[in-house]
Amino acid sequence: MSLSPVEDIALSEFSPGTVAEPAAPGSGFVGRSPGQLAWARLRRDRVAMVSGGVLVFFFLVALAAPLIQWAYGTDPQQQFQDSLDLYGMPLGYAGGVTGSHWFGLEPSLGRDIFIRMVYGLRTSLFIALAAGVITTVIGVLAGVLAGYAGGWLDAVIGWVTDFALAMPFLIVALALVPTVSLRFYGPREAVPSSFRVAVLITVFALFGWTSAARLVRGQVVSLREREFIEAARASGVSTAHMLFRQVLPNIWAPILVSFSLAVPSYVTGEAVLSFLGVGIVDPTPDFGAMIFRSIHYLQTDPTYVFFPGVTIFILVLAFNLFGDAVRDALDPRSNR
Amino acid sequence: MRPRVAVAAGSAIVLFAALGACGKNTGQGTATDNNRTTTGVIATDPKDSMGPAAPVPGATKGGTFYVLRQPKINHLDPQRVYSFAGLSAAPLYSRFLTTWKDDGKGHLTLVGDLATTPGKDVKGDCTTWQFTIKDGVKFEDGSPITSKEIAYGIARSFDPDLTGGPTYLQEWLANTPEYDTAWDFKANKTSLPPGLTTPDAKTLVFTFQKPHCDLPFAASLPFTAPMPPAKDTGVNYDNQPFSSGPYKITKIVPGVQMVLERNTNWDPATDPVRHQYPDSFVWSYGADATAEANRIISDSGPDASAISWDGVPSTLTAAVAGNASLKDRTLLEPTPSANRLTINMQRVTDLSIRQALNYAIDRDDLIKALGGATVASPLTTLMPPATLGYQQYDAYPAGPNGNPEKAKQLLNGRTPELVLGVADDDQDTQIGTQVKNNLEKAGFKITVKTIPQDSKLDETKKKNNPWDLYIDTWGADWPSGASILPPLFDGRTIKDEGNSDTSFMNDSAINAEFDRILAMPPAQQGPEWAKLDKRIMTQDAPAVPLYVDVAFYLHGSKAGGLFIGSVFGYPEFVNAFVKP
Amino acid sequence: MSTDPPNAVPLLAVQGLAKHFPVREGFGSRILRAVDGVDFEVRAGETLGLVGESGCGKTTTGRMLVRLLEPTAGRIRFDGRDITHLRGRALRPLRRELQIIFQDPYSSLNPRHTVGKIIAIPLQANGIRPPGGIRNRVRELLEIVGLNPEHYNRYPHEFSGGQRQRVGIARALAVQPRLVVADEPVSALDVSIQAQVVNLLRGLQRDLGLGFVFIAHDLAVVRHLSHRVAVMYLGKIVETGARADIYQRPQHPYTRALLSAVPDIERSREDRGRIRLEGDVASPLEAVSGCPFRSRCWKARDRCAVEEPALVAREGREQLVACHFPEPAPAVSTEEVRGEPVAG
């Protein structure tokens, strides 16, 4: 009997219990998960840390709005029309910037811009985050079900996705919001801003889940063919385990990126809707409404444009940069 | 690379904004003459009604005159014209039974336009009016204008399909507000409505069952424009009206442009008011008010002979009013459009609450919120100062910023909950907030309810509307109290929809006063209306007078002869010319 | 050479197993006959090597054995029980008896789980509570496959290919199966590592009495482990028999060709010619008349085109072969004595 090289080596080397042990990276008993590695990469990225810091700052400001109001001393509805000239424009320098009005006053109604921005930020971020979370959850569920189950379920979900994508978002929003408000509130009742916020989030949720669903479905379809999925099946795991323990942990990277890019689009989307009158209406402070109103005053009171304009610019930029950095940090190649 | 680009863009924004922010605003400004009064007479001398109109100093023939407006004019059909833009444009291509000679400063004379005089009160009791039609008045194709064509124009205004225009003549001839059912135009095309007769080609007679001393004024509205029956295309007439004025409409591109050119068959010798200086007028639609204002400020090319019909937007008034170099290109006049906070008396039945509202109102801050002195001027009477015989008074003197304490006293501890209905567009919602914050200082609890913009007017005109307060505007059709107080406060006109008496006030004593004053000769009515104005405010307080609109317009350096009409408060083109 | 275990019922018996895939081509569909009727048996504690080139259907067969794929036809009997179309509830107990090791160590482990979790999942999924706890069992298994038991908290990306494959083996062993399908478990590994893993499997079989179906494309790799070998071509088994018979006295021309490809120092002295197969491989989409190998067989004759040869014992020999003109036995078999006992 001749020996193949494989057999040669096997025979010469075989002895139970000894194994070549390569040096494993890291120390200690607990290995570093791909998530922890990604986090470490993110920490090293300066752009990510700065933009992340900016976002955290904005969130804190939004959360602490009542506290800031208490310290600042002015509430968002207070009018200071005595500080306006007879055209309704703020007196003094730069649109009324003073020690007690850090960002100046609004023309016409004479309300404090700084505190209105703080509250407006709060509303905008709340809506954008809530919408982001809801649409991501729905999208992930739809995508995972469609991708994993395949067959008719995939076809039905695909059809629903196409339908939602085909519907003109703006027109539906414009039609839906007043109708729904009328349904719940009579002609003499004011529609509280909490209701408007809820309706806005619902409108976004109806349309926004599709991109996450498509993304996740694609990921799941490619994941389905991976051998560890088959291995799990061969081990006899339940479908719930398969979806939540095997599939989901492998797709949270694109989910996270999709979420971080969706949120700024909701910030701007809510601004547009408020401008069109179907979002948040006066007197509730709103970022988008302030920006759109201020554009008319570009020639006569540029400070009014400046502060909210710069803020939304920074906010959206920070979100986008951070989202990109997250995507880079989660690069699958380094998950080998 | 991306963060650097972002920083660069951000710095650009900062610089740009900072450039505009450096100056200090010390609060100087111009304001209009709020107390300019209007005087008006009905011409008695036939010479006043004869042409040609006095030449405009400095005017030259030629050129194209541009009028910029964002929305297109709703109706060009003279029987359907009632919007301010329509009233502004109609004299270019149509003539009426009577018209106003206007110096743009409040001095008005009513003269005959197609008629030789402003009308003869045949029996002296205002029930029968006779007009003689001038010789030499022609349509754009040279065919003569006779009483038949004028009568036909009035007759077709009864057609329920041709809605939109004023309804005085129809209601007075038929003696009922339901005029379209009283006389069916479509069934009676060859005959005339009751009371309207044309004994011959030169004579037109109105016979009313009740006295209507204001007929000469009413006849100045475009619904007395003539039309040959053969040219009546019904609802399509809007597309190409047949001209009787100095210009004819030669081209309409829907929503984009309307071009008018000289009507060579218009004879200036027959026209006491109009001129024909420019070769053509072009109405150009689409640009928004801010864009229009910026174009005219830059004054280049065709914009030099243009006017922005939308006026200076409130967001730019500070810049324009503060710019000395623009001063001789602006028009600033008060208008007769009066704005009031209407109180729905069906719901707010307690007089003391209505009076408290009047004490609480802060007109100064409201005007600041509207855009300041070039947009609005405070009003404490129901009739605007532009009314003939006007008397200033303040039934609830509270100072320019209101008197919340006095209001609270009247309320005596109560905190009435009232719903203020506003249109859902940005501007109106802001005013709603302004009024709410203002009234709440006096202890009221105000809920601001938004109403979809296109239906707000219709909804508040419904008899059983659910709101307590809403802001209404009224621009009288002629500067007499007769066209202000009775339409707005006579409860006998209340119907289910389409009300002008949106306070739903119905005080029989006041109604009797309306009848009494209307029966007086027009020249004597003025002071009586003024007295009645004060009495209504004191006894009923059906509204809170707020402000009159101020006309603030910008035109190019070559646009000459423009003035703000004293009757409606909008630009008039009868004297317009293009400077070389 | 071949072992005859005491019990007569084979652990695994496969008869006429087939898997057809519908393939859409334009408007119609054709059938891909991935596996087209295979028969074989595996006895307890024994290894069957299943060999063939890529695309011959061996991986598909392996998947069907562990019921990851649904057979289109045929029977699979495990321990005498028909498991061919078991599903759901009924399938669960089978998962404890029949397991699989996958080929690609880089995709057969979930990158997000620690290896400890990977190994523990089959235990948890099947409700197995080992005495001493799952964690101890995991460490035990790690030790059995030759890994440091303290590394159960490490992630797959911290291990080499060979080590990952050991994890895969540990996972398969966790439920104490009686038969393991090893789907090309060493094909993705370096040659030197291959040997280690093969040895590990051999040791496990000896210590735990496991049966194996060892799928490979290389006859050399399975030789070390297999008691019996089955050779597959285009979805059918063309020869099957005891190890010695296949390696020393192959009857099917294809088997001979495969053997000639094995780099063998001894052989090259005598049998210089490496058999190169020429001709086109018949497509598994088309039903082939006669012998599927005839398009590449140098011995093909008219009869081969007409009559499909059955897998039977021919010419008084022990192995089963599907050929009308099987190879004759070599005159002298010099290698016969050289072999060492395989299992036992």
- Say if residue C267's pLDDT is above 70: no
Question: Are the beta carbons of C121 and A249 separated by less than 8 Å?
Answer: no
* CATH superfamily entry for domain C10-97+177-337: P-loop containing nucleotide triphosphate hydrolases (3.40.50.300)
Tell me which residue of C246, C256, C254, C331 sits closest to C295, measured CA to CA. C254
What's the pLDDT score for residue C295?
82
Chain B touched by A53 (CB under 8 Å): no
The helix-helix angle for C115-125 and C161-173 (nearest 10°) equals 20
- What phi and psi, each to the nearest 5 degrees, are found at residue C333? -105, 105
What's the pLDDT score for residue A297?
86
Is there an interface between A and C (3+ Cβ pairs < 8 A)? yes
- Say if residue A251's pLDDT is above 90: no
Instruction: Note down the domain range covering A331.
Output: 120-335
Interface test with A, best of B25, B30, B428 (most A CBs within 10 A): B25
Burial of A195 (0-12, 13-18, 19+ CB in 10 A): middle
What's the pLDDT score for residue A177?
80
B425-482 residue pLDDT tens: 878 988 999 999 999 999 999 999 988 888 888 899 999 999 999 999 998 888 889 8
HSE, CB side, 13 Å, CA atoms: give it for residue B453.
9
Tell me which residue of A93, A231, A171, A84 sits closest to B364, measured CA to CA. A84
DSSP letters, A227-239, are: HHHHHHHHHT--H
Mean pLDDT of A196-210: 89
Query: Would you place residue A4 in the very low, low, confident or very high pLDDT band (cuts 50, 70, 90)?
Result: very low
Domain assignment of residue A54, yes or no: no
Domain assignment of residue A257, yes or no: yes
What's the pLDDT score for residue C93?
87
What's the pLDDT score for residue B289?
86
- Say if residue B497's pLDDT is above 90: no
Tell me which residue of B100, B31, B6, B97 sits closest to B478, measured CA to CA. B100
* Identity of the residue in A91, A300, A317 whose CB atom sits nearest the CB atom of B315: A300
Using CA atoms, how far apart are residues B432 and B343, in angstroms rounded to an integer?
A: 15
Query: Would you place residue C340 in the very low, low, confident or very high pLDDT band (cuts 50, 70, 90)?
Result: very low
Chain A touched by B209 (CB under 8 Å): no
What's the pLDDT score for residue C219?
81
Proportion of chain A above pLDDT 90, given as a percent:
24
Task: Tell me which residues of chain C, numbers 41 to 80, contact chain A at a CB-CB cutoff of 8 Å.
Answer: 63, 66, 68
* Identity of the residue in B368, B372, B426 whose CB atom sits nearest the CB atom of A293: B426
Q: Write down the mean pLDDT value for chain C.
A: 84
Mean pLDDT of A109-118: 92
* Identity of the residue in A86, A95, A282 whose CB atom sits nearest the CB atom of B27: A86
Question: Are the beta carbons of C108 and A228 separated by less than 8 Å?
Answer: yes
Which residue in chain A has the smallest CA separation from B321? A87
- Say if residue A16's pLDDT is above 80: no
Task: Tell me which residues of chain C, numbers 175 to 194, contact chain A at a CB-CB cutoff of 8 Å.
Answer: 175, 191-192, 194
A41-55 residue pLDDT tens: 888 888 889 999 999
Of B12-16, B244-248, B293-297, B324-328, the least confident: B12-16
Proportion of chain A above pLDDT 70, given as a percent:
89
What's the pLDDT score for residue C62?
92
- Say if residue B488's pLDDT is above 90: yes
Which residue in chain A has the smallest CA separation from C248? A1
What's the pLDDT score for residue C6?
53
* Identity of the residue in B2, B317, B429 whose CB atom sits nearest the CB atom of A321: B2
What is the count of structural domains for chain A? 2
Query: Would you place residue B24 in the very low, low, confident or very high pLDDT band (cuts 50, 70, 90)?
Result: low
Closest-CA distance of chain C to residue A148, Å: 15
Burial of A83 (0-12, 13-18, 19+ CB in 10 A): middle
Question: Are the beta carbons of B14 and A310 separated by less than 8 Å?
Answer: yes
Question: Are the beta carbons of C224 and A6 separated by less than 8 Å?
Answer: yes
What's the pLDDT score for residue A270?
87
Q: Are A34 and A42 in contact (CB under 8 A)?
A: no
Q: Write down the mean pLDDT value for chain B.
A: 89
Question: Are the beta carbons of A87 and B24 separated by less than 8 Å?
Answer: no
CATH number at residue A182: 1.10.3720.10
- Say if residue B361's pLDDT is above 60: yes
Tell me which residue of B547, B550, B578 sits closest to B564, measured CA to CA. B550
Query: Would you place residue A6 in the very low, low, confident or very high pLDDT band (cuts 50, 70, 90)?
Result: very low
Q: Is the dihedral of CA C90, C91, C94, C96 positive or negative?
A: negative
* Identity of the residue in B13, B369, B373 whose CB atom sits nearest the CB atom of A309: B13
Q: Which residues of C touch A242 (CB under 8 A)?
A: none
B293-338 residue pLDDT tens: 999 999 988 899 999 999 898 888 888 888 888 988 999 988 999 9
What's the pLDDT score for residue C334?
45
Helix or strand holding residue C153 (H, E):
none
Q: Could you say which DSSP state residue A112 is in?
A: B
* Identity of the residue in C151, C155, C171 whose CB atom sits nearest the CB atom of A34: C155
Most confident of A304-308, B331-335, B402-406, C7-11: B402-406
Which residue in chain B has the smallest CA separation from A97? B21
Asked if ipTM goes beyond 0.90, one says: no
Query: Would you place residue C164 in the very low, low, confident or very high pLDDT band (cuts 50, 70, 90)?
Result: very high
Cβ density class C41-60: b for 16+ within 10 Å, e for less: bbbbbbbbbbbbbeebbbbb
Which residue in chain A has the smallest CA separation from B317? A87
Which residue in chain A has the smallest CA separation from C109? A228
- Say if residue B10's pLDDT is above 80: no
Is there an interface between A and B (3+ Cβ pairs < 8 A)? yes
Query: Would you place residue A316 in the very low, low, confident or very high pLDDT band (cuts 50, 70, 90)?
Result: confident
Of A271-280, B255-264, B368-377, the least confident: A271-280
Using CA atoms, how far apart are residues B456 and B465, in angstroms rounded to an integer?
A: 11
> Is the pLDDT higher at A5 or at A56?
A56
CATH code that applies to domain B335-550: 3.10.105.10
Using CA atoms, how far apart are residues B181 and B190, in angstroms rounded to an integer?
A: 17
Of A225-239, B3-17, C301-315, the least confident: B3-17
The helix-helix angle for C134-144 and C161-173 (nearest 10°) equals 130
- Say if residue C283's pLDDT is above 80: no
What's the pLDDT score for residue B494?
86
What's the pLDDT score for residue A150?
82
What's the pLDDT score for residue C34?
87
Question: Are the beta carbons of C199 and A13 separated by less than 8 Å?
Answer: yes
Question: Any idea which residue has 């009507």 for tokens?
Answer: B263
Q: Could you say which DSSP state residue B379 is in?
A: -
Helix or strand holding residue A255 (H, E):
helix A248-275
B504-526 residue pLDDT tens: 999 999 999 998 998 888 888 88
What's the pLDDT score for residue A19?
38
B517-556 residue pLDDT tens: 988 888 888 899 999 999 999 999 999 999 999 999 999 9
Residue C203 corresponds to which amino acid? G
Mean pLDDT of B69-90: 89
Tokens of B246: 């100095």
- Say if residue B31's pLDDT is above 80: no
Tokens of C186: 């060493």
Interface test with B, best of A78, A86, A87, A278 (most B CBs within 10 A): A87
Q: Which residues of A touch C223 (CB under 8 A)?
A: 4, 7
Tell me which residue of C60, C48, C78, C81 sits closest to C17, measured CA to CA. C60
Which residues fall within 8 angstroms of residue C53, CB to CB, at 6 or more apart? C217, C233, C258
Chain B touched by A188 (CB under 8 Å): yes
Structure pTM?
A: 0.76
* Identity of the residue in A79, A190, A277 whose CB atom sits nearest the CB atom of B449: A190
Question: Are the beta carbons of A314 and B368 separated by less than 8 Å?
Answer: no
Domain assignment of residue A98, yes or no: no
Q: Write down the mean pLDDT value for chain A.
A: 83
Which residue in chain A has the smallest CA separation from C220? A4
Chain B touched by A175 (CB under 8 Å): no
Proportion of chain B above pLDDT 90, given as a percent:
58
Q: Are C110 and A249 in contact (CB under 8 A)?
A: yes
Helix or strand holding residue B15 (H, E):
helix B2-21
Closest-CA distance of chain A to residue B419, Å: 6
Using CA atoms, how far apart are residues B450 and C229, in angstroms rounded to an integer?
A: 85
Helix or strand holding residue B153 (H, E):
helix B147-156
Mean pLDDT of B228-256: 90
Chain A touched by C265 (CB under 8 Å): yes
Interface test with B, best of A78, A83, A84, A86 (most B CBs within 10 A): A86
